[in-house]
Homo-oligomer: A and B are copies of this chain.
Amino acid sequence: MGELRLRDPGEIGVAILGAGRMGQTHIRTVAGIRNARVVVVADPDLAAAQRGQAVARAGRATAEPLEAIHDPAVEAVVIVTPTSTHATLIEAALRAGKAVWSEKPIALDLAETDRVVALWRETGIPVQVGFVRRFDPGYVRAKKLIEAGELGRIEQFRAYSRDTYPPPLEFLRTSGGAFVDMSVHDFDLARFLVGEVEEVQAWGSVLVDQRFAEAADVDTAATLLRFRNGALGVVEMSRHSAWGYDIRTEVAGSTGKVVVEAPQKTQATYSRRFGFEGDHYENFPDRFEVAFRLELEAFFRTLAEGGTPAPGPDDALETLRLALAATRSWREGRPVRLDEMTAGAPSGSPG
């Protein structure tokens, strides 16, 4: 990926597209990165863009993301806009020769994602996609143990995620559904930690809120995975959690096992009448506060040092394929092989 030429790897000019809640988080993070300098913040809501500009001490704000991409001082683009705009903005940036960091997913269907992957391959411009868990120190350690062979041959993968709050109704209909929007994080970990999946079988239920049924979606699900290397996996999800953000991931092999879980947010334990108690993380922003910084630091470090940022569009594509296969398996009530899922095939996503 040698196409990107930086004026000064120690001070990369950045456009941040999207100044909503998550955008503001990323703006603060980029502002604190040594070798990044925010040039412009773009959001159709110009006031939000200006708030971001002030936080980042950026030169200016704009309501036009494309205009920001084409600013000559901009060398890298950070995309935190609604999902439906990701592919278009990534393509615009690649055509303008700007490096890209984008929130996941690239798109909700394979055809559009394929198109971005093709352009990325053609241009050779670095693109990193925001699968944040890969940068959490716990998952990094799990990955290292596995790569060092400490687990032996991998036999089992298991993961569950319970989001604290169900998504708002308007988001629901464009989310891609339970598997594409939520289990996708665990599917990405499955691929990251174990390898490619051959076949899935997914079951779903509506237990939390009847609106999910109305949206042709589920709020509770479980998916069996068969990996190419023979290992079996299980991925479970729920759209709500009364006790806080609840995720746990395990990989078990012939000689060892690694568990990633952060059960206690505050390092204080209170003992009272014959028992003790502690607190859980509330939601992904507090659970992954550090990882949100680490993933962006890694992106800018890779830009400066050369190399291919990971996870890239190819990871986004394969993880999406897995999520769509699970969706189709749930809808059709049968096991689905990943090689069924091609861009030309009928979409498995709801709606």
Contact = CB atoms under 8 A, between A and B. Distances in A.
Given A28-B32, A32-B31, A232-B220, A270 B242 contact: no
Given A226-B203, A243-B273, A267 B145 contact: no
A207 B153 contact: yes
Given A224-B203, A243-B272, A137 B267 contact: yes
Interface in A257-281: 257-280
Interface of A: 28, 31-32, 34, 37, 55, 57, 136-142, 145, 150, 152-153, 155-156, 158, 160, 162, 201, 203-205, 207-208, 220-222, 224, 226, 230-234, 236, 238, 240-244, 246, 252, 254-280, 282, 333, 335
Nearest to A136: B267
B156 A275 contact: no
Given A224-B224, A231-B205, A246 B236 contact: no
A348 to B, nearest CB: 18
Given A201-B203, A236-B232, A280-B271, A155 B220 contact: yes
Given A141-B268, A220-B231, A258-B268, 14 more contacts: A142-B268, A145-B270, A155-B205, A156-B220, A205-B226, A224-B224, A234-B234, A242-B255, A244-B271, A246-B252, A258-B269, A274-B279, A275-B279, A275-B280
Contacts of A272: 150, 242-243, 255-257
> Could you say how many copies of this chain the assembly holds?
4
B274 A276 contact: no
B276 A282 contact: no
Nearest to A289: B290
Contacts of A282: 274
18 contacts: A137-B265, A137-B267, A138-B268, A145-B268, A155-B205, A155-B238, A156-B220, A158-B236, A203-B224, A205-B226, A208-B254, A222-B233, A234-B236, A243-B273, A255-B272, A263-B276, A275-B279, A276-B279
Contacts of A273: 242-243, 255
Contacts of A261: 267, 269
Given A155-B207, A238-B252, A267-B138, A278 B275 contact: yes
A31 B32 CA distance: 7
A95 to B, nearest CB: 31
A236 B156 contact: yes
A282 B273 CA distance: 10
A196 B275 CA distance: 30
Contact of A152 (B155, B242, B333): B242
A150 B234 CA distance: 26
A67 B137 CA distance: 42
